Chains A and B, each alone.
Chain A
Amino acid sequence: MRKRILASFFGAVSLFCAWLILAEIVRLPIIPSPLLVVEKISEIFCGTIAVHGMYSLGRIIAGLLLAVGVGLPVGVLMGWSRRADRLLAPLVYLTYPVPKIALLPIVMLLFGLGDGSKTIMLFLILVFQVVIAVRDSIRAIPEEVFYPLASLGAGFRVILCEVLLPASLPKFMTAIRVAMATAISVLFFTETFGTQYGMGYFIMDAWLRVNYLEMYSGIVVLSAMGLFLFGVLDCAERYFCRWQGRE
């Protein structure tokens, strides 16, 4: 763990130095010095960026909760019941490859320009990954794993809690992590419409005002938010899936 933290720290310092060198060489307003950006962040974080950041984070969490709330039961149902899988699999496979960003105009028409459409976009990106990961994990559980519980006359609720959910957790966490990167990109895009709050709005607004320092501040904070979310997911996976072990 300490090695990982050291490696991350070393990576961040290297990136910072590379940026600093590039800024010194180019000497253009479009690539400001990172020192000036850090100064700007400390200046406007509490009053401005934090508010936009909270809006974005709130949308991500809402989309994630909605995706888990819908995706987890559907995935369990498809993994557990062959009949449910036969009914739902064609629907999932037909809609899964559609680039979700292409659905943005429809989602905006249906759910308006506000938070609803943004949350729905995040939901659409995350939900398919959750459904497929959970379904595949449950179908991969060897039959023998159920025997000791079945011989005890355990009902579905016990099997769900003791076997299905823990067995699907590692793939579920991976799916969320993979989809999260796309979700943040799409969130950025959706926040450039119909809102005055969110990191997407803040960055684009700063760009239009030709305030490059603020724009870079937004980019740095958005990246930090992504890093934070990955860190949280990583920690959660390390704790809840520690039974798997790591080399």
Chain B
Amino acid sequence: MICVSNLSAYYDTAKGRSMALKGLNLEVPKGGICALIGPSGCGKSTLLRILAGIASNYEGEVSIEGAPVNPKSLSIGFIPQNYGLLPWKTVRDNIRLSWKVKHPETPVPDGEEKMLARLGIGEEFLARFPRELSGGQQQRASLARAFLLQPDVLLMDEPFSALDAITREEMQEVFFELWRAQAVTAVIVTHDIEEALYLGQTIVVLSSSPGRVSMVMENPHFARREASGDFAAQKARLRGWLTGKGAEA
């Protein structure tokens, strides 16, 4: 379970301190998926970095599984926007990197091959370098790296935004399949309303800077691709909140 209480975050600029998040509260139940959606610069990525234990310039309480965030004691899978593959490592080494760092003494788990097959990562890809892969293939490799770790928490920063529509849908399906198998608590940052409606059990809308929670929605359309009237209505409602016309929508 992820618990964020009264979180305020700052970053330093040339003109002084600037506030990225203010008084933010958030709860993601164990094994749940929360989609964070908000306008550019609302602090979505900052929140994700705080949850990942990378950023420390914040006030308030952030806990994962009842303890303060500590990347050393927790297994945190983090997929940044550009997939975070190291260009000098082959796909195989990139996929195994998280496991190697977290469990240097333990061999890679047996399920690796099965998971690679499920992700459609063939033997021919494993020896390649990231620059030799398409966006979709890089995304598959980064998902493999995150899920091989069997993390306590999975954090994804606009993971599917750079993919074309068909590949995006395909990758979302793959993500669901892996998520179901491991039931990992996940937070997904996105700017795509349809993606939030598809991937988020809970959708949290953040207001623009400094970021605050402007709406939390339990999503009835979770994991369903549909074009019903209600889906369109929810989409319009979310768009209304995002554009600051939440009350009328």
Instruction: Tell me the A residues contacting B by CB distance below 8 Å.
Output: 144-145, 147-154, 158, 162-163, 166-167, 169, 241-245
Q: How many residues of B contact A (CB 8 A)?
A: 33
* With contact pairs A147-B52, A147-B54, A162-B97 given, residues A152 and B84 touching in the complex (Cβ less than 8 Å): no
A-chain residues with CB within 8 Å of residue B70 when the two chains form the complex = 153
Q: How many cross-chain pairs have Cβ atoms below 8 Å apart between A and B?
A: 73
B82 at interface (Cβ–Cβ under 8 A)? yes
User: Which of A148, A150, A243, A244 lies at the interface centre, i.e. has the most chain B CB atoms within 10 A of its CB?
Assistant: A148
Q: Does B235 contact A (CB under 8 A)?
A: no
Supposing A153-B71, A162-B97, A166-B88 touch, asked if A148 and B131 sit within 8 A by C-beta, the answer is: no
Binary CB contact string for chain B from 51 to 82 against chain A (1 if under 8 A, 0 otherwise): 01110000000000000001111111111111
B199 on interface, CB distance cutoff 8 Å: no
Contact A150 B101 (CB under 8 A): no
B residues 95-111 with Cβ under 8 Å of A?
97-98, 101-102
Main secondary structure of the interface of B (DSSP, over half): loop
Q: Which chain A positions have C-beta within 8 A of B101?
A: 149, 152, 154, 158, 162
Measured in the bound complex, the distance between the Cα atoms of B156 and A162 in whole Å is 22
Interface SS majority for chain A: helix
A-B contact pairs, 11 of them (CB 8 A): A145-B84, A148-B79, A149-B97, A149-B101, A151-B155, A152-B78, A153-B71, A153-B74, A163-B86, A166-B86, A245-B132
Q: Does B49 contact A (CB under 8 A)?
A: yes
User: Does any Cβ of A come within 8 Å of B89's Cβ?
Assistant: yes
Interface pair B78/A147, CB less than 8 Å apart: yes
Q: Is the CB of A153 within 8 A of B80?
A: no
